[in-house]
Structure 1
């Protein structure tokens, strides 16, 4: 099995603050989710979209799958995305995260590759910026899929952090020092949660 073939875009969520479904966000006259997918294609052979509105992706060239457990939050989407992925490690982002850092993705691949070589790989690879854990733009092992599903069925807490803490999954964090050293772009962690966020992002794009 390839180590880094697959990426997953989570397109679920209620989008209550945006007041419309964020998987239909349009930026520069293109669906944002497809712009994200195109960026990910530079690094991954397979891009999977997790959406409970599969009918809206009839002519989509990407694999589209739906949650097996409904109304369980992003963990449910991660579980099914990992299930259908074709690589040992899977890069996961959300459909409202417009920015990608190519150098960061390749750095993580190299970091994980070294850990695999020396038999010290972790279950999850994320970033911790200013003491804040960034749960997306990170790699998760494919074999976490069943554990996540079991946790959601049996547990009461549905957060990603509660899953890996309670299930004793090992996590490696990219640190502030690494971000500063390699000049990675922290704006990859921006979410477009509100119409104001979208307006401000479009203004930035216009001046690039």
Structure 2
């Protein structure tokens, strides 16, 4: 049985946020507090410790008291670059990842992914969401992976591939479907932020 003590939480705050006009997304106010604070509050009870992946505003992120790790690859190369430095910083058997801009992420994310992980010989379990129309969408940046995947990921990145789903195909993976698509809603535009504040008021 995987316990909270076995899991490090990685918050991905390393993106460019082009659709937000390039401002640092984790620091945008949501209900009056920086978005990253929602992610920390949601993840903290689910994990042993937290690591933040950021490529700017390092001193601001460091004020939360957790290690801040920067991508080792240039040019904001996406979540896999964050996964890579997160795995390097991880001192527990498992790493749970979440972006900084999904403030309603499930309180039982770690628990449900861990249960699925224990059900088979999986290396990585990711979340999926079920929309109102019954369609199921993969949410690959919300995942629980074994912390020994560093070599596999580095070899994949050395090929110059940054597509998250292609790396997953090289692994033994499974998914857990969450019925409420809102829990993975992320904030890409000021309008989306306003709508999310309204539904989570």
Could you tell me the TM-score, scaled by structure 2's length? 0.85
Which residue of the partner structure matches residue 187 of structure 1?
Answer: 182
Moved more, 40-49 or 51-60: 51-60
1:109 aligns with 2:114: yes
The question of 1:83 aligning with 2:88 is answered yes
CA distance in 1, matches of 2:63, 2:107: 27
Q: Is the 8 A contact 1:137 1:188 kept in 2?
A: no
CA separation of 1:104/1:50 partners in 2, compared to 1, >3 Å: closer, same or farther?
Answer: closer
Rounded to whole Å, the distance in 2 between the matches of 1:51 and 1:105 is 22
Are positions 1:14 and 2:19 aligned together? no
Quick check: 2:10–2:51 contact (8 Å CA) kept in 1?
A: yes
TM-score by length of 1: 0.83
CA shift at 1:132, angstroms?
1.9
Unaligned runs of 5+ in 2: 130-134
Instruction: Give runs of aligned pairs for residues 145-156 of structure 1, distance below 5 A.
Output: 145-155=150-160
Match of 2:33 in 1: 30
Matched, 1:42 2:37: no
The alpha-carbon distance between structure 1 residues 104 and 10, as it changes in their structure 2 partners (threshold 3 A), is closer
CA distance in 2, matches of 1:202, 1:58: 26
Size of the alignment, in residue pairs?
191
CA RMSD of aligned residues (A): 2.0
Q: Which residue of 2 aligns with 1:169?
A: 171
- From the CA coordinates, give the structure whose radius of gyration is larger: 1
Corresponding residue SS for 1:126: strand
**Separation of aligned partners in 2, 1:10 and 1:37:** 11
Q: Is the 8 A contact 1:192 1:198 kept in 2?
A: yes
SS in 2 for 1:193: coil
Alignment of 1:53-72 (within 5 A): 53=56, 54-71=58-75, 72=77
Describe the SS at the equivalent of 1:41.
Answer: helix
* Runs of 4+ deviating beyond 4 Å: none
Q: Which residue of 2 aligns with 1:125?
A: 125
Conservation of the 8 A alpha-carbon contact between 1:122 and 1:171: yes
Structure 1 counterpart of 2:55: 52
